[in-house]
């Protein structure tokens, strides 16, 4: 197994090799691209010049001129051969570059190496009147180009880059081997000292020499200082262990006190919820009762005026008409607000009774959810949040309505307090579906969601995101305990940050009567 020194050397060699390889590959690609572009320009230039100068000479069948033109174009070493063909006689003229670089004439149409490029030779002449005639194809030229120069240049560049990489790697390995010894030799001594300290004890280990005046010298002096402190720390640890034993006993007693305090806080939270319900009832009923009282006062005052006019004998038709209008409007206001107050009292009465008595009874689920949500209107009307209820009719439960009201109230108010900012518009949906002898209730919102690090802790006691702002962290813990222990069901939560949260409750339509069945069903459906 390589040590740190070997791994560092290997790492630096790999990095340098990769960097040089990447740069060399890019340089190779750039060089190849430049050579290809240069070769393409050469091809285009040769063909352009041949198509310009050869047609007139070929038209005149001037072989000497054609040979001179072809010989002049054979100067670049990339050209292997140039063959000029006449349309009637075939091969008219040609030059070939031999392997030794000499240029000779081609006497027959034998195979030639290189990449052939064919171009037509068009002759343009003017007529008797000086008008340009249609170009006449008088022959063709075949030029063979060689890639030997490009391949040789690229191969030489590859050899140069490989040699450069190998040379730099050798220099780097030698430099690292010498320089890293300055660091690793003192580290080996420090390692041996630490090993002795761990196996033999601080009393038997001698201090390391600290004559160096560099960073490693500081490390060694620090090691010696740590060794000197270990003896005193061992004594302190023994004393701390004695104190820890005493603290463990005190902690056990404090845990018992904390459990009792938690149970008291849970009960106080439920009573506080009931107190909030009563305060909301008082505030909500105060408005329709006040309007009814004011309307009755107006009606009584109008009646007294009419009675006085009748007794005086100067009653008028306009007075009677005005009185009837006042009486009609007042009675309408009295009836509407009295009905509103009666409806509120009816909605709140059963909820309050259920929360106080905790009695078990049969009840219709949808109507009861509507009554619970109605009892929350004093809180909801101060926000821009709407609550939708999607529950089929005729779902009957044989359970504890007070505990269920506590669950719905805590979940709804939890959404109001934590899912939305005070001025945000939002929507809370309470959906219910019956699945055989069980119901599934889903309370969802479209708020800001629960952070991922809080999802696993939302049902723990005293966990809240509004610490110091009125949040106790007990609302969802009460919900969890009621669902799991009193209803024998289960509750889960899911959330995507910024897309709201969803609480899914599963509970039996008929709550089991004994604790054994409750806990078994709860485990079965978690």
Is the pLDDT reported for residue 438 higher than 90?
yes
The overall average pLDDT reported for the chain is 79
**Mean of pLDDT values over 208-213:** 68
Q: Which stretch, 85-89, 223-227, 381-385, has highest mean pLDDT?
A: 381-385
Q: What is the reported pLDDT for 126? A: 60
Q: What is the reported pLDDT for 518? A: 41
**Torsion of Cα atoms, 253 then 255 then 259 then 264, to 10°:** 70
pLDDT by residue (tens digit) across 346-387?
655 555 554 545 678 899 999 999 988 888 887 888 889 999
Q: What is the reported pLDDT for 468? A: 47
Tell me how far apart the terminal alpha carbons of the chain are, to the nearest angstrom: 50
Domain ranges of the chain: 4-124+135-157, 204-357, 358-508
> 358-508, what's its fold?
Heat Shock Protein 90 (3.30.565)
Is the pLDDT reported for residue 226 higher than 90?
no
Listed as own residue / partner, the contacts of 326-332 with beta carbons closer than 8 Å and 24 or more positions apart are 326/298, 326/299, 326/302, 327/299, 327/302, 327/303, 329/295, 330/295, 330/296, 330/298, 330/299, 330/302, 331/295, 331/299
Q: Which stretch, 123-132, 187-196, 244-253, 311-320, has highest mean pLDDT?
A: 244-253
**Mean of pLDDT values over 12-19:** 84
Q: What is the reported pLDDT for 133? A: 65
Q: What is the reported pLDDT for 517? A: 40
> 4-124+135-157 maps to which CATH number?
3.30.450
Q: Which stretch, 100-109, 209-218, 224-233, has highest mean pLDDT?
A: 100-109
Confidence of residue 278 (pLDDT cuts 50, 70, 90): low
Confidence of residue 145 (pLDDT cuts 50, 70, 90): confident
Confidence of residue 434 (pLDDT cuts 50, 70, 90): very high
**Mean of pLDDT values over 398-422:** 88
pLDDT > 90 fraction of the chain, expressed in percent and rounded: 13
For residues 35 and 154, the answer to whether their CB atoms sit within 8 Å is yes
Q: What is the reported pLDDT for 466? A: 60
CA separation for the pair 1, 24 (Å, rounded) = 32
For residues 373 and 412, the answer to whether their CB atoms sit within 8 Å is yes
pLDDT by residue (tens digit) across 335-344?
877 876 776 6
Is the pLDDT reported for residue 524 higher than 50?
no
CA separation for the pair 296, 345 (Å, rounded) = 21
pLDDT by residue (tens digit) across 17-42?
888 888 888 888 888 888 888 888 88
Greater confidence (442 vs 109) lies with: 442
Q: What is the reported pLDDT for 366? A: 93
Q: What is the reported pLDDT for 522? A: 38
Is the pLDDT reported for residue 265 higher than 50?
yes
Give the HSE-up count for residue 187: Cα atoms under 13 Å, Cβ half-sphere.
Answer: 9
**Torsion of Cα atoms, 238 then 239 then 242 then 244, to 10°:** -100
Query: Could you give the 3-state DSSP secondary structure of residue 15?
Result: helix
Is the pLDDT reported for residue 525 higher than 50?
no
Tokens, residue 78: 């990339």
pLDDT by residue (tens digit) across 456-472?
888 887 667 665 454 55
**Mean of pLDDT values over 193-209:** 66
Query: Could you give the 3-state DSSP secondary structure of residue 91?
Result: strand
Q: What is the reported pLDDT for 212? A: 66
Confidence of residue 102 (pLDDT cuts 50, 70, 90): confident
pTM of the predicted protein model: 0.39
Greater confidence (209 vs 119) lies with: 119
Q: What is the reported pLDDT for 519? A: 41
Radius of gyration over alpha carbons of the chain, in Å?
A: 50
Is the pLDDT reported for residue 526 higher than 50?
no
Q: What is the reported pLDDT for 397? A: 93
């Amino acid at each position: 197994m390589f040590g740190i020194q070997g791994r560092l050397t290997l790492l630096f060699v790999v990095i340098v090799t990769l960097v040089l390889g990447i740069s060399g590959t890019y340089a190779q690609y750039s060089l190849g691209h430049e050579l290809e572009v240069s070769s393409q320009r050469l091809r285009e230039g040769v063909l352009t010049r041949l198509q310009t100068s050869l047609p007139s000479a070929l038209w005149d069948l001037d072989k000497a001129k054609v040979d001179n033109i072809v010989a002049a174009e054979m100067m670049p070493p990339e050209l292997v051969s140039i063959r000029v063909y006449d349309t009637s006689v075939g091969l008219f003229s040609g030059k070939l570059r031999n392997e030794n670089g000499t240029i000779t004439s081609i006497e027959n149409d034998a195979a030639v190496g290189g990449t052939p490029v064919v171009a037509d030779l068009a002759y343009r002449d003017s007529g008797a009147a000086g008008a340009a005639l249609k170009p006449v194809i008088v022959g063709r030229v075949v030029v063979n180009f060689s890639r030997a120069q490009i391949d040789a240049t690229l191969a030489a560049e590859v050899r140069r880059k490989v040699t450069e990489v190998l040379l730099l790697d050798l220099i780097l390995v030698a430099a690292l081997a010498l320089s890293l010894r300055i660091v690793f030799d003192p580290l080996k001594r420090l390692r041996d000292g630490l090993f002795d300290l761990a196996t033999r004890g601080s009393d038997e280990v001698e201090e390391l020499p600290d004559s160096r005046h560099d960073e490693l010298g500081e490390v060694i002096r620090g090691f010696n200082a740590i060794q000197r402190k270990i003896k005193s720390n061992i004594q302190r640890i023994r004393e701390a262990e004695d104190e820890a034993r005493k603290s463990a006993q005190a902690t056990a007693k404090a845990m018992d006190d904390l459990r009792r305090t938690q149970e008291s806080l849970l009960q106080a939270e439920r009573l506080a919820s009931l107190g909030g319900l009563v305060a909301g009832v008082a505030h909500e009923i105060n408005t329709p009762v006040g309007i009814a009282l004011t309307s009755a006062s107006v009606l009584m005052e109008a009646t007294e005026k009419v009675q006085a006019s009748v007794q005086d004998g100067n009653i008028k038709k306009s007075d009677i008409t005005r009185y009837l209008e006042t009486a009609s409007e007042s009675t309408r206001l009295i009836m509407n607000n009295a009905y509103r107050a009666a409806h509120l009292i009816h909605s709140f009465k059963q909820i309050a009774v259920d929360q106080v008595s905790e009695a078990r009874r049969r009840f219709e689920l949808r109507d009861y959810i509507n009554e619970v949500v109605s009892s929350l209107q004093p809180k909801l009307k101060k926000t821009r949040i709407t609550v939708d209820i999607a529950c089929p009719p005729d779902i009957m439960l044989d359970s504890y309505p007070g505990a269920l009201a506590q669950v719905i109230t805590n979940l709804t108010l939890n959404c109001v307090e934590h899912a939305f900012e005070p001025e945000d518009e939002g929507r809370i949906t309470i959906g219910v579906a019956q699945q055989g002898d069980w119901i599934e209730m889903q309370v969802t919102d479209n708020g800001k969601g629960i952070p991922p690090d809080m999802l696993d802790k939302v049902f723990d006691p005293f966990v809240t995101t509004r610490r110091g702002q009125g949040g106790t962290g007990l609302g969802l813990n009460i919900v969890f305990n009621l669902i799991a222990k009193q209803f024998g069901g289960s509750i889960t939560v899911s959330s995507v940050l910024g897309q709201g949260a969803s609480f899914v409750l599963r509970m039996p339509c008929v709550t089991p009567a004994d604790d054994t069945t409750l806990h078994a069903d709860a485990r079965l459906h978690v």
